[in-house]
Amino acid sequence: MKEDGMLRIVVPASTANLGPGFDSIGLAVSRYLTLEVRLADEWKFVPRSSEVAAIPAGMDNLIYQVAAQVAQTYGCTLPSCFVDVYSNIPFTRGLGSSAAAVVAGIELANELAGLSLSLEQKMRFASCYEGHPDNVGASLYGGLVIGSHRREETDVVHVPDVQLDLVAVIPSYELETEKARSVLPQMMAREDAVEASAVSNVLVAALLTKRWELAGKMMSCDLFHQPYRKELVPQLSLVEKLAMQYGAFGVALSGAGPTILAFAEPGKGMELKEKLAPYFPDCAVEWLTVEQKGSQVYKMSFEK
């Protein structure tokens, strides 16, 4: 990056699982983390929106830690930067705020160190850092991703043109992923595992063939996580009931929660939002769309 230049890095939010696609299916959505980066004498991250008001200002910031780890992996050092941070992604609500920060850190290191990493290399690093490919894959690629993260490698199928409307019911409370994982069983019986994986397979097939009603049915048949997390998200049962009455084809926790997503065919989301909102006065109820583009980097120069 030139001394008189600036980088703008834009990373979309994401939802994961879509019900039974546990730790493997991700969808990019229309909320964004944006960094504006300039060279400086020391690292400093400055929050410019309420969602990121509490982020660390220095080298303990997650974005820096990821960027530094990427640089170290490739034997590089990073110049110090001043970073303005903007976001309208709710923090710890299940919309991939930390995954977006991880992807932003990878993009930051790639640009500052001139690494020219491929999407596959970025995906592998992000997946290893997070431990699963769903949220980070969606933020990197955009659209829908179906991924498999294993010790040896990470494989992702990217579906770039999925047209859906989503309505997010976002509770005011936070839910840490660690707490949401603590209620899950450590083991499943073989017959339950077979059924759960079959449900996930049919969900993917239904999404790819636009069989929306079947996709929604599979969301409700999840055995991996939603039955156990209902106790942590009391709004889930009511959203499931009302959204289906008002035209949604499916409802699922967004990631670990507490955000709940109602899925509708294109063009039906705004009406669904207006019908759901009065029932949840203590929640933010927002209309979202699928973001087709993954993370983007823009380079700008300024005349002296």
The annotated binding site is made up of 90-100
Residue 261 near residue 254 (C-beta atoms within 8 A): yes
Q: Which of 299, 251, 296, 255 is nearest to 276 (CA)?
A: 251
SS3 111: helix
CA separation for the pair 150, 190 (Å, rounded): 20
Residue 252 in contact with residue 19, Cβ under 8 Å?
yes
Q: CB–CB of 159/209 below 8 Å? A: no
Record the tokens describing residue 23, joined without a space. Answer: 């730790």
Q: Decide: 27 and 141 in contact? Cβ < 8 Å.
A: no
- The CA–CA distances, whole Å, from 248 to 14, 230, 256, 261, 264 equal 19, 19, 21, 10, 5
277: Cα within 13 Å, side-chain hemisphere: 10
Decide: 107 and 11 in contact? Cβ < 8 Å: yes
Beta carbons within 8 Å of 82's beta carbon, 6+ residues apart:
37, 38, 39, 40, 44, 46
List, as residue ranges, the binding site for ATP.
Answer: 90-100
